[in-house]
Amino acid sequence: MKVTNLGWLGTRTERAEELAVFYADVLGLPLVHHEPGFWVYQLPNGRHVEVFDTTYPDKDHFTTGPVAGFVVDDFPGAVAELEAAGIELLGSPGGSWQHFRAPDGNVYELIPDRPDHTDATGV
């Protein structure tokens, strides 16, 4: 597996609205998608920072704090390497992401090295 970049960050928090305001008003990140309980901000390189309220579905495994996404050059191969190493895969895999629990107990994700990478919302 070859990690080429850090490409995504997601946080599930009880203080999602406060974090969303911080990302927009203090960090100056542009909001590119919003729906109840979910905000997507775009970084200058086109990658995303996402905020999830604790009521947002399908993110229950985000329990250890912010989740960082590692960009890999061969996404299917990298997921296979995680499986072969006995790493716990979490949640339903997306077509372009796979969450996993690393040996430190924290949740991370793999994403492909594609400039058109999008998240579950298509953003």
Average pLDDT over residues 37-59: 89
Q: Which CATH class is domain 3-112?
A: alpha beta
Rounded Cα–Cα distance for residues 110 and 67 (Å): 10
Rounded Cα–Cα distance for residues 122 and 4 (Å): 22
Rounded Cα–Cα distance for residues 82 and 101 (Å): 10
Give the global pTM: 0.73
Average pLDDT over residues 109-118: 72
SS3 content of the chain, % helix, strand, coil (to 5): 15, 40, 40
Q: What is the pLDDT of residues 58-89, one digit of tens each?
A: 777 777 778 888 999 999 999 999 999 999 99
Rounded Cα–Cα distance for residues 117 and 38 (Å): 18
Using alpha carbons only, how large is the chain's radius of gyration in Å?
14
- Look at residues 6, 21, 108, 121 and name the one whose alpha carbon lies nearest to residue 62: 108
